[in-house]
């Protein structure tokens, strides 16, 4: 699993793009994906800083409506200790727009969390590996299917449904969706930028995974299943 997973296209097929427009006609941020290199593991401060920066640049270039208030935040719970520190105890990042001003960073403010948008708090191990996969809209849908199956199989093995976190009610205004997904079918867009910036994490080097990179619980040995559950910091209920 040392290479970035790809779905629907190969990395070599990602075209160079310098300018484009959203469906609403606004100019948007574009990037030559071939210029990007991995900066850190999923949830590391370096990776989170880069993702926050690119998210903000996309919103800034998208000419968001002046009266729009929208926030994005992701918190990765129970990450490996190597990824956090006393100075930065919570893995995650945010970017947001409010009254024409875009902000971002790795210390998520309450002002972002209370702003309608997309806010996720989820176990690091549950989403780490598949977050390196490059995909378009079909791949995104298949990832959701694979993750639902992973959750089901974990629940069957444990005898209860584990709390892996999730997403609060999401709000996706059309200008935001247009800006964040420009070029996604060609390998660009916010997700694919973040995936390209991500280095592999050693915990997943030998774990079986689906085509989209989602850990494949059905193909794990008993030892691997127990190790993955521990990696997700799921406490087993007393028998």
Tokens of 77: 């719970």
Q: What is the pLDDT of residue 185?
A: 83
d(C-alpha 164, C-alpha 188), whole Å:
28
- 74 strand-pairing partners: 93, 120
Q: What is the pLDDT of residue 57?
A: 94
Tokens of 170: 């999401």
Neighbours of 102 (CB within 10 A): 17
d(C-alpha 113, C-alpha 118), whole Å:
9
Cβ–Cβ < 8 Å for 52, 210 = no
Tell me if residue 71 falls in helix, strand or coil. Answer: strand
The backbone torsions φ and ψ at residue 23, rounded to the nearest 5 degrees and listed phi first, read: -65, -25
- Domain segments of the chain: what residues? 11-231
- Measured over the CA atoms of residue 157, residue 163, residue 167 and residue 168, the dihedral's sign is positive
The backbone torsions φ and ψ at residue 195, rounded to the nearest 5 degrees and listed phi first, read: -65, -40
pTM exceeds 0.75? yes
Q: What is the pLDDT of residue 79?
A: 98
Q: What is the pLDDT along the chain (239 residues), one digit of tens a residue?
A: 333 444 443 433 333 343 333 333 344 566 788 899 999 999 999 999 999 999 999 999 888 999 999 999 999 999 999 999 999 999 999 999 998 899 999 999 999 999 999 999 999 999 999 999 999 999 999 999 999 999 999 999 999 999 999 998 899 999 999 899 888 888 788 999 999 999 999 999 999 999 999 999 999 999 999 999 999 999 987 55
Tokens of 70: 């929208």
Q: What is the pLDDT of residue 22?
A: 38
């Amino acid at each position: 699993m040392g290479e970035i997973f790809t779905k629907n296209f190969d990395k070599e097929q990602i075209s160079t793009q310098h300018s484009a427009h959203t469906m609403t006609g606004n100019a948007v941020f574009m990037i030559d994906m071939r210029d990007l290199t991995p900066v850190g593991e999923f949830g590391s401060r370096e990776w989170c800083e880069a993702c926050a920066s690119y998210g903000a640049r996309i919103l800034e270039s998208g000419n968001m409506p002046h009266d729009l208030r929208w926030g994005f935040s992701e918190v990765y719970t129970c990450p490996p200790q190597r990824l956090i520190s006393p100075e930065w105890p919570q893995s995650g990042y945010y970017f947001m727009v409010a009254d024409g001003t875009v902000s971002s960073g790795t210390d998520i403010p309450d002002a972002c969390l209370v702003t309608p948008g997309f806010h996720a708090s989820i176990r690091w191990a549950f989403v780490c590996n598949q977050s390196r996969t490059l995909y378009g809209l079909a791949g995104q849908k298949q990832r959701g299917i694979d993750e639902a199956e992973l959750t089901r199989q974990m629940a069957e093995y444990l005898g209860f449904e584990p709390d892996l976190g999730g997403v609060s009610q999401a709000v996706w205004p059309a200008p935001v969706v247009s800006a964040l997904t420009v070029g996604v079918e060609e390998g660009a867009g916010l997700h694919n930028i973040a995936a390209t910036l991500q280095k592999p994490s050693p915990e997943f080097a030998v774990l079986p995974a689906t085509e989209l990179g989602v850990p494949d619980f059905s193909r794990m040995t008993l030892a691997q299943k127990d190790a993955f559950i521990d990696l997700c910091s799921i406490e087993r209920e007393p028998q």
